[in-house]
Amino acid sequence: MDFYEIEGGTPLVGEVSINGAKNAALPLMAASLLSSEPSVLHRVPDIEDVHTMADLLRSLGARVEWQGKGSLMIQAGPGLSPRLPDELTRKMRASVLLMGPLLARLGEVELSHPGGCAIGPRPINLHLDGLRYLGAQVTAEAGALRATTTGLQGTLIVLDFPSVGATENLMLAATAAKGVTIVRNAAREPEIVELQDFLNKMGARIRGAGTDTIRVRGVRELHGAEHRVIPDRIEAATFLVAGAVTRGRVTVADVIPEHLEAVLAKLEAAGCTVEEGNDLVEVSLQGRPAPIAFRALPYPGFPTDAQPQMCVLCALADGVSLVHENVFAQRFHHLEELMRMGANVFHEGGYAVITGVSKLTGATVEAADLRGGAALVLAGLAAEGITRVERAYHMDRGYESFAEKMQSLGAQLKRLSN
A 10 A CB-CB count for 257 gives 18
CB of 364 to ligand UD1, least distance (A): 27
Among 67, 125, 273, 286, binds ligand UD1 (CB under 6 A): 125
Is residue 126 part of the contact set for ligand UD1 (CB under 6 A)?
A: yes
Is beta strand 293-296 parallel, antiparallel or unpaired with respect to 320-325? parallel
Is residue 328 part of the contact set for ligand UD1 (CB under 6 A)?
A: yes
Q: What is the DSSP letter of 342?
A: T
CB of 361 to ligand UD1, least distance (A): 30
CA dist 227 and 42 (Å) reads: 6
CB of 166 to ligand UD1, least distance (A): 5
Toward ligand UD1, which CB reaches closer, 158 or 416? Answer: 158
CA dist 274 and 285 (Å) reads: 9
Among 48, 232, 235, 305, binds ligand UD1 (CB under 6 A): 305
Is residue 411 part of the contact set for ligand UD1 (CB under 6 A)?
A: no
Residue 48's SS3 state is helix
List all residues 6 or more positions away from 73 whose beta carbon is below 8 Å from its beta carbon: 38, 39, 40, 63, 64, 65, 66, 67
Among 6, 64, 88, 124, binds ligand UD1 (CB under 6 A): 124
Chain position whose Cβ is nearest to ligand UD1:
165
Among 25, 64, 214, 327, binds ligand UD1 (CB under 6 A): 327
Toward ligand UD1, which CB reaches closer, 189 or 390? Answer: 189
CB of 185 to ligand UD1, least distance (A): 11
Q: Determine the length of the chain.
A: 418
Toward ligand UD1, which CB reaches closer, 6 or 368? Answer: 368
For residue 212, which of 235, 236, 187, 233 has the smallest C-alpha distance? 187
CA dist 229 and 220 (Å) reads: 26
Catalytic-role residue among 117, 272, 311, 314: 117
The values of phi and psi at residue 363, to 5°, are -160, 170
List all residues 6 or more positions away from 373 whose beta carbon is below 8 Å from its beta carbon: 334, 367, 389, 391, 392, 394, 395
Q: Where are the beta strands (DSSP E) in 18-90?
A: 39-42, 63-66, 72-75
Contacting ligand UD1 within 381-410 (CB under 6 A): none
Selected range binding ligand UD1 among 109-117, 120-128, 253-261, 270-278, rule: CB under 6 A: 120-128
Toward ligand UD1, which CB reaches closer, 94 or 103? Answer: 94
- Catalytic (active site) residue 272: no
Is residue 241 part of the contact set for ligand UD1 (CB under 6 A)?
A: no
Burial of 87 per CB tally in 10 Å (0-12, 13-18, 19+): exposed
Contacting ligand UD1 within 90-119 (CB under 6 A): 93-94
Selected range binding ligand UD1 among 121-129, 213-221, 263-271, 386-394, rule: CB under 6 A: 121-129
Buried b (16+ CB within 10 A) or exposed e, 350-380: bebebebbeebbbbebbbbbbbbbbbbbbbb
CB of 25 to ligand UD1, least distance (A): 9
Element (H, E) at 105: helix 99-106
Number of residues that bind ligand UD1 (CB under 6 A): 20
Give me the residues paired with residue 20 across strands. 231
Is residue 28 part of the contact set for ligand UD1 (CB under 6 A)?
A: no
Site string for ligand UD1, 159-188 (x = CB under 6 A): --x-xxxx--------------------x-
Q: Which residues bind ligand UD1 (CB under 6 A)?
A: 23, 26, 93-94, 122-127, 161, 163-166, 187, 304-305, 327-328
Active site residues: 117
